[in-house]
Amino acid sequence: MRRAWFSQAALLAATGLALWFFASNTAHNLETRKIASGFAFLWREAGFEIGETGAIAYSAADSYLRALGIGLWNTFRVAATGVVFATLLGTLLGLARLSPNWLLAKLAAAYVEVIRNVPLLVQLFFWYAMITENLPDPRDALQPLESVFLSNRGIAFPTPWSTPALVGFNFAGGASLSPEFAALLVGLVTYTAAFIGEIVRAGVLSVGRGQVDAAHSMGLTRRGALRYIVLPQALRLIVPPLTSQYLNLAKNSSLAVAIGYPDLVSIANTTMNQTGQAIEGVAIIMAVFLSISLSISAFMNWYNRRVALKGLRL
């Protein structure tokens, strides 16, 4: 017992010593280079514009804090939207790989193998080029659905009270997704869905064949057995690795800086370049992504416990 306490105390002391060394060394270097530390710069005027602010009002006269808030909002909305669509697409892929239709199963398998073996950054460049270089100008925009327009300016679509219409060289009214947001969203969704599809496939295969046969003997169709018998049991194995994919998607959104989408990392980089507050800027990025990751983990752990309890009652 004494040895265990001694080893823990020694580890704690070593950790504290390492933290003290890095903190004191950092403070000394900042003082030597006459770089002011602290977060007072957050309330100074930013002096730069942001191309995509969503529903939040912003101008160059606003503070760095507001600019970083815009970046946080942009990161959150692409991550939240990506999680929803990646889950839907990934589930369809996983089920398609188990389909008795040979062609559908092989196409799903080919998608998974190709997408997950190509670096995400390369895919983002590909989708951005596809949107900006291969789609037509707004005047010749593609219209796959009523009042939905695809052009090199992005995607314009209607809202409950407004419909997009061509005004000059771009669309006005409705809502729109910029080329940068669209490329980032498509890249994150298609990439993450390939991994989620394999997780769903493994979860479904983990349910014993006897469960499916019993469902069929009760008169359930294949779809009914999948919905009421297989998926509820498979969820207990699907949810834990699914959490990791959600975390990866949220963190991978930081690659947005490569295609010019003004997420938190992009705006923080601009802030650090203008203010010289590199340590504070990196600390803000780390704190935000840590908070997002912990929030996702907490929610998914709660949901996992809920599913596990249901499974035990079965």
pLDDT, mean of residues 249-254: 94
**Greatest CA separation found in the chain?**
79
DSSP-derived letter for residue 43 is G
Q: Are the C-beta atoms of residues 268 and 68 closer than 8 Å to each other?
A: yes
pLDDT at 211 exceeding the cut of 90 = no
Q: Are the C-beta atoms of residues 280 and 41 closer than 8 Å to each other?
A: yes
Lowest mean pLDDT among 15-19, 144-148, 289-293: 15-19
What pLDDT score was predicted for residue 312?
A: 43
Q: Which residue(s) pair with 175 in the sheet?
A: 157
Q: How far is CA 202 from CA 95, 208, 290, 310, in A?
A: 10, 12, 29, 20
pLDDT (tens digit per residue) in 149-184: 888 888 888 888 888 888 877 888 888 888 999 999
In the chain, the N- to C-terminal Cα span, in Å, equals 43
Number of domains within the chain? 1
pLDDT at 282 exceeding the cut of 60 = yes
In a domain, 199, yes or no: yes
pLDDT (tens digit per residue) in 262-272: 999 999 999 99
Rg of the chain over Cα atoms, rounded to whole angstroms, equals 25
DSSP-derived letter for residue 145 is E
Q: Is 207 left (phi over 0), alpha (psi -120 to 50) or beta?
A: beta
Confidence of residue 1 (pLDDT cuts 50, 70, 90): low
**For the domain that residue 198 is a member of, what is the CATH number?**
1.10.3720.10
In a domain, 238, yes or no: yes
The rounded percent of the chain whose pLDDT value lies above 70 is: 86
pLDDT at 313 exceeding the cut of 60 = no
Q: How far is CA 84 from CA 185, 200, 272, 302, 305, in A?
A: 11, 15, 32, 18, 21
- The residue segments making up the domain with residue 255 are 64-117+181-274
Confidence of residue 65 (pLDDT cuts 50, 70, 90): very high
What pLDDT score was predicted for residue 228?
A: 63
pLDDT at 80 exceeding the cut of 80 = yes
What is the sign, positive or negative, of the torsion defined by CA atoms of 229, 300, 118, 180? positive
In a domain, 194, yes or no: yes
What is the sign, positive or negative, of the torsion defined by CA atoms of 155, 160, 166, 167? negative
Size of the chain in residues: 314
pLDDT (tens digit per residue) in 83-103: 999 999 999 999 899 888 999
Pairing of strands 170-172, 154-157: unpaired
For residues 80 and 20, give the distance between their C-alpha atoms in angstroms, rounded to a whole number: 38
In a domain, 229, yes or no: yes
Q: Is 141 exposed, middle or buried (0-12, 13-18, 19+ CB in 10 A)?
A: buried
Lowest mean pLDDT among 124-138, 167-181, 236-250, 284-298: 167-181
In a domain, 80, yes or no: yes
In a domain, 252, yes or no: yes
In a domain, 88, yes or no: yes
pLDDT at 277 exceeding the cut of 90 = no
Residue 266, token pair as written in the block: 């992009």
In sequence order, which ranges of the chain are alpha helices (DSSP H)?
A: 2-32, 64-97, 102-115, 120-129, 179-205, 209-217, 222-225, 231-252, 264-275, 278-313
Phi–psi pair at 175, nearest 5 degrees: -130, 160
What pLDDT score was predicted for residue 84?
A: 95
pLDDT at 20 exceeding the cut of 60 = yes
In a domain, 310, yes or no: no
Confidence of residue 308 (pLDDT cuts 50, 70, 90): low
Residue with tokens 């800086």, as numbered in its chain: 257
pLDDT, mean of residues 307-314: 51
